[in-house]
Structure 1
Amino acid sequence: MGSPRKPFWFLPFFCVILTILHLTPHSKSADDFTTIVYKGCAKQTLSDPTGAYSQALSSLFGTLIAQSSKAKFFKTTTGNGQTSINGLFQCRGDLSNVDCYTCVSKLPILIDKLCGKPIAARLHLFGCYMLYEVSGFAQISGMEMLYKSCSGTNIGGSGFEEKRDTALSSLGNGMSSSNGFYTTSYESVYVMGQCEGDVGASDCVECVKTAVQRAQVECGSSIAGQIYLHKARAKYWKDSGYNIRRGSRSGFLVIFMLFAIQV
């Protein structure tokens, strides 16, 4: 008769470890592209005694959400005459149609929650943005800076700024044949640029180059930074310091700049 088998004393411990690993939340999730970057809300609320504006705004949101399942950019107008509302959405160029729809569909609820019902509002998530404005709302320059974010980590004196500037220069040049969205890298420095969907090719290049220059000036030797203009944006990051796909903002000093409101 053989000797009795030793009990599997380690199994409960092993199962506990597996359970902990399974339940531990991931530091980043696939839907981080819906994280809020910034908002801009007009100070003046909609005067809507007849409900015409609310109806036009609801119709606008519905149209934009529907279009986001098949396009990365769409611009339209709803309502009539003085009660018409202009609006658009845009998704990041590397998002799938499914992710674009997921991102855009969150925007109307968030706009209502964060802004209420002003005469104009703009909300940027990491993967998409939406804006609307009533007919006759004062326009601002496409070069107007709306928002900047620079990493709190600096690495001056290491040659990083030269590498970053080379990467940003490549970004400015690449935008000319990119159809409005371009991303590239140089020696572990990654860059991305995007223009609003209705901006012409030459204006897009100039707009992104302006954003690039602002990033260089505003962020200095920061390991990552992003600049949002009214009609374009540019960002850079080193290695894994900034995950463009998921939109990690770890270590960022966020500076909110509400877009210019003129009433």
Structure 2
Amino acid sequence: MRFSLLKLSSFSIIISISMALFSDLELAKSASPDYTNLIYKGCAREQFSDPSGLYSQSLSAMFGSLVSQSTKTRFYKTTTGTTSQTTITGLFQCRGDLSNNDCYNCVSRLPVLSGKLCGRAIASRVQLSGCYLLYEVAGFAQISGMEMLFKTCGKKNIAGTGFEERRDTAFGVMQNGVVSGHGFYATTYQAVYVLGQCEGDVGDSDCNGCIKNALEKAQVECGGSSSGQIYLHKCFIAYGYYPNGFHRDPPSSNTYGSSGSSSSSGTTGKTVAIIVGGTAGVGFLVICLLFVKNLMKKKYDDY
């Protein structure tokens, strides 16, 4: 009888420990930020020659300036270089709803990512879910602010359900909001979440035109898809349908699946973290089981 009670008590302890352990893992998973997920990268084909190291010095100084400014503003543009030939213009922008701390955490990843993804390209743009970084050496060919850089559309098509009408109404509200909000606006309308943002140095009129262009492209490119993201050179929009409740973060490329060239590196990183956490949890559980087993053996021998 004593052995049975001890066994039952030990089993209860193990269950309690397991529940607490995996509850913590789920909490850690849900608390993981997704604003650092890689969306896309754009790299110039030409690499710069740098025998004197001047380009590297300019680039390093520019990165340092951008990262330091990200602690106090969501948009910053600067130019570095000792000569006209080594001048580099760079900027970063964070999503308008990110805190200063989140903005810094996002931007501080970009210099390393730019180097890994684009090497010594004379121009580079790296877009994460919550921020992006762009730099160009002097003389790099400029492109239209309306040029589409990247798109992704959800795989789930819900056309004909009234979704498109709700989405288009939300689009209209968001377009007006971006202009009145001077470059950023996010809202939800009948379970459709929409977000729009223009580059920080774009005026209200040009911002309105850019957002309008992006929304029209979303209607054409994504049709009845339940989610989508359209990135133009000077602005971007994102939308998603959340029938089960509002989600704070912008629609990701994973909303009901996606089609496009978005990277999955952010998701992979989360998966690795969960696997490592789960492995540690199982290891701890095994230690607990061995401890209880030894305790039970001692009690049984005494009995």
Q: Specify if TM > 0.5.
A: yes
1:230 is matched with: 233
Tell me the residue number matched to 1:125.
128
Judging changes above 3 Å, is the alpha-carbon distance between structure 1 residues 21 and 102 closer, same or farther for their aligned structure 2 residues?
same
Given the superposition, is the C-alpha separation of residues 211 and 145 from structure 1 closer, same or farther in structure 2, using an over 3 Å criterion? same
- The aligned amino acid for 2:192 is V
Does residue 214 of the first structure (1) align with residue 217 of the second (2)? yes
Label 1:24 to 1:236 Cα distance change in 2 as closer, same or farther (>3 A). closer
Q: Deviations over 1:99-122 (max 9, x none)?
A: 101100000000101110100000
Name the residue aligned to 1:44.
Answer: 46
Q: Distance between the aligned counterparts of 2:98 and 2:218, measured in 1? A: 24
Q: Which runs of 4+ in 1 moved over 2 A?
A: 5-31, 240-254
1:28 deviates by 4.3
**Which residue in the other structure is 2:65 paired with?**
63
Letter in 2 for 1:249: S
Which structure has the highest strand share of the two? 1
In the alignment, structure 1 residue 160 sits paired with structure 2 residue 163: yes
TM value normalised by structure 2: 0.79
2:95 to 77, 92, 111: 92
Bigger radius of gyration among the two? 2
Q: Structure 1 pair 154/201, CA: closer, same or farther in 2 (3 Å)?
A: same
What TM-score comes out, normalization by structure 1 length?
0.90
- 1:14 alignment counterpart: 16
Please, which runs of 5 or more residues in structure 1 have no aligned partner? 258-263
Q: CA deviation at 1:19?
A: 2.7
- Residues 24/71 of structure 1: CA separation in 2 closer, same or farther (3 Å cut): closer
Q: Does 1:31 align with 2:33?
A: yes
Give the Cα separation in 1 of the matches to 2:76 and 2:143: 20
Greater helix share, 1 or 2? 2
Quote the RMSD (CA, aligned, Å).
Answer: 2.2
Is 1:245 matched up with 2:245? Answer: no
Q: Would you say the 8 A contact 1:29–1:246 is kept in 2?
A: no
Aligned residue number for residue 208 of structure 2: 205
Cα separation, partners in 2 of 1:52 and 1:242, compared to 1, 3 Å: farther
Taking only the aligned residue pairs, the percentage that are identical comes to 53
User: Gapped runs of 5+ residues in structure 2?
Assistant: 263-303
- For the residue of structure 2 that corresponds to 1:18, the secondary structure is helix
C-alpha displacement at 1:209, in angstroms?
0.6
In the superposition, relative to structure 1, how do residues 179 and 39 fare at CA in structure 2: closer, same or farther (>3 Å)?
A: same
Q: Distance in 2 between matches of 1:25 and 1:184?
A: 26
1:181-213 CA-to-partner distances (Å, cap 9, x unmatched) read: 011221111111000000001000110010010
In structure 2, the CA distance between the partners of 1:93 and 1:205, relative to structure 1 (3 Å rule), is: same
